[in-house]
Structure formats: C-alpha cells, structure tokens
Structure 1
Amino acid sequence: MATLFNNSAPAVTRSGDRVYVAAVPLRATKGPAQLLASAAYSFNFWDFQHFMVIISPPSSPTSHSRALVFDFQPKDPEDIQVALAALSGKPVPGVVRERKLSRLPKNKCSYVGYSNVNAVEVARKFNETWDTNLRIGHHDCRDYTNGLVEVLLGEENVLERLRQNSLNI
C-alpha cells in the first residue's frame, strides 16, 4: 500500500526551519470508538486522521534542537459527550497545543517546505489568534494545519496537495 506521506527533506542544506505535516490516529473513548479510529488510521482513511504541523529547527554539530509539533484538537478528545457533539456539528471547546518531539515520526510525516521566517515565533503568534471553538468539518485540525502552513510557507491548502499526491502514488 502506498504511503500518504514522505518525511524526506530535500538534500539541499538551509539554515532555516523545516516544516512538516504529520498525521496520527484520532483520539477517542476507550473501547469500540478507539478501535475504529485506530483501524481507520491503519487503512489510511484520510478523514479519520488528526493532522498537525511540525517545525524542525536547523541542526548543527553543536545544536541539540528538537522539533516542535503544533496542533488543534478538542480539550477532552476522549469524552464521549464531546465526541457526540463534535460529530453532530456542534462547536466544542478546543485547545491549541505545542509539544517537543525528540525526533520526527517515521510514518505519515511529509516535508512540505522551508520557512524563511522564524517559524516557531510565527506559529506562536498564529496560535494566539486561533479561534478555539472546534467544529468538525468546519474549523478543526485540518483548517488549523492548512492555516498555519499558509502563514509559514505561503502555500494554500497543503492538505489537498498531500491528499492528491497520495492518490497518485
């Protein structure tokens, strides 16, 4: 089966931040919902994945910089009431997260470009203005990922490009 993503950055060495888009399984309540979300992710069902942006600073022999992941999700993604509300199109409280990564994911992670700006600073400013009322299919992790990549790289709708590329493999 073809992979949706390729995390290989070009061989060209630059001094700025590299930007990646990654996908992970949706989080759900334990039991059948979690099993369904994991199965959908395993079968590469595009709409059943959680998307995020990873910023990887330039590395040097003296630098031990780690990548940062930025994403948007419900405040309590494992609460069944939140899941039911979200699936019915009602807004639910969301949260923008920033976390450190020790390394890039090996699967479902694609290099999307090189940032000419201080990507971490720009991402943090973007997060300050992001509306945290989450609505599945209208204002969710996909919109967040597309918006942040557009601010960082100028590319509109990066997820559509990645989706089209995955269908053409």
Structure 2
Amino acid sequence: MSSLVSNNAAIVRDEVFVAAMPLRATKGPPQLLMSAAYSLNFWDLQHFMLILKHHSSSSHVLVFDFQPKDPQDIYVALQVLSGRAVPVVGTLLVRKLKALPRSKCWQVGYSKGDGVEIANEFNKKWDTNLRVGLNDCRDYTNGLVEQLTGEKDVLNRLRNNHS
C-alpha cells in the first residue's frame, strides 16, 4: 500500500499598504507649508511609502521607503526640485512601526509570497539616484507594489479614488 504525501505548502502572503506623509522640510515656513499641503490633500506634495504587515507578526509592521539622505537639507531640496539627478542622495529605509498609520494609509492587496524577501530583493536592484518625477518615492512605491502584488501604477488608482 502506498501513501500519498501532500506537497501543498501554505503560501505566505503579507498585507500590502501604501501610506502618505507630509514632505519633510527645514523648520519654520517651509515645514509649515509642507504640513499645510498635506492637510489640504495636495497629492503631488506628499511623500509615499509602502508598509507590509508581515504574516508572522501582528505586533508590528515594516515600512519600506525611498527618500533623500537628508530630506531637510535645503540645497538638496533645490537640486531635487530642479529635476536634475542628484547622485547618491537617495536612501532606502526599512523600519518597524508598532501600528499602521491612522490616516492616509490604504490596503492595496496581498503579496505573492514572502513580502519581506521580495522587498529586500527589490531594494538590491533599486537605483538610489533620486530625481523627482523619474526616480522618487512615487516610482519606488509603485514599483514595489507591482513587485509584491502585480498591480501597476497603484498611486494613480489611489489618487483617483481618494483625492
């Protein structure tokens, strides 16, 4: 008598979220302007990032983010806003949060596999030369969502549904 062995391993799927935050700026009027733009929901003046709620832990979530190394440096901000590529000014960040943000955070799907592993592989290939409109937090977030879930241009969908 032969026995049948099931090869159906459970597929690991993590919840995938996109969140918006105010752009960071130097203290004073620039910071007040960025906070006002965020509060008024000016989509183009928000910083976007990806959040993973990993299947193995309900106690924290991971944020995957691409931003300038010093987002408050006025000279870098002027270079970035001018549209010129700024060599080695971008940095990829991965950090833990205890909970999901309470506002401007949208679940966009589930990962096709282990989200942390997929995101780490994506980060190894990401070009960290920051250029607004061509290689910025929006491109990073869209690309990582596509890698994780298969959905293209998620920010456009969210903009149309939530603006």
TM-score (norm 1): 0.85
Q: Which amino acid aligns with 2:21?
A: V
The equivalent position to 2:109 in structure 1, one of 113, 117, 126, is 113
Q: How many residues align?
A: 151
Task: Say whether 1:48 aligns with 2:17.
Answer: no
Q: Helix, strand or coil for the counterpart of 2:119?
A: helix
1:24 aligns with 2:21: yes
What is the 5 A alignment of 1:55-94?
Answer: 55-58=52-55, 63=57, 65-92=59-86, 93-94=89-90
CA deviation profile, 1:63-109 (whole Å, cap 9, x unmatched): 55421000100111100100110111112210010000100000000
Paired residue type of 1:20: F
Secondary structure of 1:135's counterpart equals coil
Q: Which amino acid in structure 2 is aligned with residue 47 of structure 1?
A: D
Is the Cα contact below 8 Å between 2:59 and 2:99 reproduced in 1? no
Which residue, out of 36, 40, 52, partners 1:39? 36
- Separation in structure 1 between the aligned mates of residue 58 and residue 135 of structure 2, nearest angstrom: 35
Aligned-pair CA distance for 1:31: 1.2
Partner of 1:123: 119
Runs of 4+ in 1 over 4 A off after TM superposition: none
* Separation in structure 1 between the aligned mates of residue 121 and residue 85 of structure 2, nearest angstrom: 23
Q: Would you say 1:149 and 2:145 are equivalent positions?
A: yes
CA radius of gyration, larger in = 2
User: Any gaps of 5 or more consecutive residues in structure 2?
Assistant: 1-10
5+ unaligned residues in a row in structure 1: which ranges? 1-13
Q: Is the 8 A contact 1:57 1:65 kept in 2?
A: no
Alignment partners' CA distance in 2, 1:15 and 1:111: 17
The CA distance in 1 between the partners of 2:58 and 2:69, in whole Å, is: 31
Partner of residue 136, structure 1: 132
2:6 corresponds to: none
Confirm or deny that 1:100 pairs with 2:96: yes
Question: Which has the higher mean CA deviation after the structures are superposed, 25-34 or 102-111?
Answer: 25-34
1:15-73 deviations in Å (ceiling 9; x for gaps): 620000000000111111111100000000000100000000136xxx55421000100
